[in-house]
Amino acid sequence: MAAHDRVEVDCGGLTFCECTGLSALLAAARAAKTAGSELRLCTVPHTLARLLRLTHAGSAFTIEQSGGR
């Protein structure tokens, strides 16, 4: 079992995300999965939610609008 079962990324301050940022988030999600954890995106702004929807990448993450814990 992983030392941490999830990694939370607070995206509340994010104002811009393009393909490089999305690639970094996807790489982090893969690394978390390999380590037996999950990557959770918290407080996802509309712009990132739209990018995830358009690229069909949203399924790589657990998305919590209100934040964690």
pLDDT at 37: 92
Lowest mean pLDDT among 1-10, 17-26, 28-37, 46-55: 1-10
Provide the pLDDT confidence category of residue 25 given band limits of 50, 70 and 90. Answer: very high
* Distance separating the N- and C-terminal Cα atoms of the chain: 20
- % helix, strand, coil for the chain, step of 5: 40, 20, 40
Please give the structure tokens belonging to residue 39.
């990557």
In CATH terms, the superfamily for domain 6-64 is: STAS domain (3.30.750.24)
